[in-house]
Structure 1
Amino acid sequence: MNKLPTIADCKLYDLPKITDPRGNLTFIESDRHVPFAIQRVFYLYDVPTGESRGAHAHHALNQLVICLSGSFDVEVDDGQNRTRIHLNRPWKGLHVPPLIWAAEVNFDPGSVALVLASDVYNEADYVRDYDDYLALMKELTQKQV
């Protein structure tokens, strides 16, 4: 079995930024600017103050989370360690690999989050209960020994 991901594997990517007096442009190419082929794109908006999104992990799915407008934090957790990463630039994307628990929190009003995903929606890929996630990570860790 490969090494289990840790929060250190949640990396910020600088996306191409073309600056122009008429406005800036950022583009993203699958497998070039993100570490996976993009199969699905979705976005979050109109998140009420105090609400959060996400709060789950994936068995196999990779995601790149980008703040297109406003700002929010992404809490990432590997079952042992947890950190919070602030997103507020549309040319920065946070890679969240499989088996990392992630939640988007602290949305500024009007914020828009774009998520690029490595696969189509599959409910079976989700781990939605944190206690189940911790049990899964413990089991996977024991299999590595």
Structure 2
Amino acid sequence: MEIKLIQLQKHGDERGSLVALEDQKNVPFTIRRVYYLFGTKEGVRRGFHAHKNLTQLVIAVRGSCRFHLDNGQEQIELLLDNPAQGLLIESMMWREMYDFSEDCVLMVLADSHYDESDYIRSHEEFIGRSKNDSSTQ
């Protein structure tokens, strides 16, 4: 499974740091929606879904959290803890987020507006769809 971590250019000096996010430059899609998660309680897991079409770039702008990613054939665990690095999550990738640091702020940029019909919320359905997708390729 290929995981894409996008290095974001960090600018700064003794006053602090800045990262600019620009669609079609360091964000590989047109940004249609931005949201962020914060205040996640200890021991809570979030996500538990995949998207049929949506692509997202996820950035831990503060703190850290772990990701469990599953493309239907392989699984990987990774730590996101660098505000100058984004995790690109393309369509048909099951995701779960866990082990949030107390100060974690997780920002998500998406290439589409919210659409409930794009979500796959059952892991069994996701596995079935991913097997069908791989058999037609």
Q: Which residue number corresponds to residue 95 of structure 1?
A: 88
Question: Which of 104, 109, 120 in structure 1 is aligned with 2:97?
Answer: 104
Alignment partner of 1:22 is 2:15? yes
Q: Which residue number corresponds to residue 79 of structure 2?
A: 86
Amino acid at match of 2:127: L
Amino acid at match of 2:89: V
Count of equivalent residues:
137
Instruction: Work out the percentage of aligned pairs sharing the same amino acid.
Output: 36
Runs of 5+ unmatched residues, structure 1: 1-6
Amino acid at match of 1:98: S
Runs of 5+ unmatched residues, structure 2: none
Larger proportion of strand:
2
Question: Retained in 2: the 8 A contact 1:74–1:104?
Answer: yes
Amino acid at match of 1:101: W
Distance 1:11 1:97 in 2: 9
Which stretches of structure 1, 4 residues or longer, exceed 3 Å deviation after superposition?
none
Map residues 62-141 of structure 1 onto 2, 5 A cutoff.
62-141=55-134
> Normalising by structure 2, what TM-score?
0.97
Deviation at 1:142, TM superposition (A): 2.0
> RMSD over aligned Cα, in angstroms?
0.9
Post-superposition CA distance 1:61-112 (Å, at most 9, x none):
0000100111101111111110011111111000000011111111011210
Amino acid at match of 1:38: I
> Normalising by structure 1, what TM-score?
0.91
